[in-house]
Structure 1
């Protein structure tokens, strides 16, 4: 049976990269052959330019034409291979784009499942109740702070104008007290007396003064 129908090959199928590699190798081989033919054509052209017309020149010319036909055939094969290489390159690019698209779609599906699983655990009603409770707690905290910061000494209905007037009155009282204190001081302690160096402080004597006659009598005795 195997001889009639053959056996199934277990060899791996060629990929686009393998096909591209095979084409590149064939193109390189054709380039080598075309280069040899170009060298041979150059030799024939040099000989033809130096020979006179005759059977010998015609023979070399026929050889040159044969080489030229071979070169054209090789160039045509190269063009076909280059076209195949371009098509394979486009197919490979399309395949890569499809692979990237499938990877992106698969990642989006997994992300969507994760989002559904995550948001499915959140109760919106409980979240709103928690927000309301937080707002109530903030209001209570503000009321407590207002109560603790209440002032008991200064009434709230005092205006800034009244405070300014009271401050000016205190300044006038202080000036009046200073003037009164200056008048109560003795004259020799005032600033004007201290500034005048010629003025001497008064003498304090316990006994009354006597005239010159009484002094003399007291000395004679």
Structure 2
């Protein structure tokens, strides 16, 4: 049965890159042939330019014409192969772009699922309750700090009006003392009522002088 119907080939199918490589090899082979033909044509052209008209020149001209036909055919084949290679290259690039696009789409889908799964675990009500609790704790902390910063030296029952009256009284007392000092011309500790103390050394010095005069 296998001889009649054959067997299914298990070899992998060629890819676009394989086909492009095969075409490039064929183009390289044709390019070598064209180089050889151009070299021969250049030789024939030089010889024909030096030969006289006759059967020999005519035969060489026929060989040159045959090479020209071969070059035309090879150039046509090369153009076709280059076009095929270009089309396959474009197809390969398009395929790669599609693959990259599918990879990007798959990654976006996975990220979207992960985001949905993550946000699904978040309870907005719990977050708001947590924020309210934090605000309450902050208020209590501020009250505690204010309580610790209280000044215990000044009674709370003293009013500002009493403090203002006491401040005015101090100002009047200072003005009265200043005016009294200016009227006497001297400070209180240098007034005439105060007697300067006598020093023992000065009295002894005066007595010594009187004794010297009497002698």
Length-normalised TM-score, structure 2: 0.76
Partner of 1:104: 104
Runs of at least 4 residues of structure 1 off by over 6 A? 154-158, 179-183, 210-215
CA distance, structure 2, for counterparts of residue 98 and residue 54 of structure 1: 66
Number of residue pairs matched by the alignment: 197
The answer for unaligned runs of 5 or more in structure 2 is 192-198
C-alpha RMSD of matched pairs (Å): 4.0
Mind listing any 5+ residue stretches in structure 1 that lack a counterpart? 187-200
Q: Specify which of 194, 201, 204 is matched with residue 202 of structure 2.
A: 204
Give CA deviations for 1:41-80 in whole Å, capped at 9, x if unaligned: 0001101111122211111111111001001101111111
Equivalent residue number for residue 63 of structure 1: 63
Partner of 1:53: 53
**1:71-94: CA deviations, max 9, x gaps?**
110111111110010011011001
Query: In 2 relative to 1, CA 63–154 (structure 1 residues): closer, same or farther, beyond 3 Å?
Result: farther
Q: What displacement does 1:128 show?
A: 0.8
- Tell me if 1:184 matches 2:182: no
Match of 1:72 in 2: 72
Query: Is 1:86 aligned with 2:86?
Result: yes
TM score, norm. by length of structure 1: 0.74
Classify 1:183/1:63 alpha carbon distance in 2 versus 1 (closer, same or farther; 3 Å).
same
Q: Which residue of 2 aligns with 1:10?
A: 10
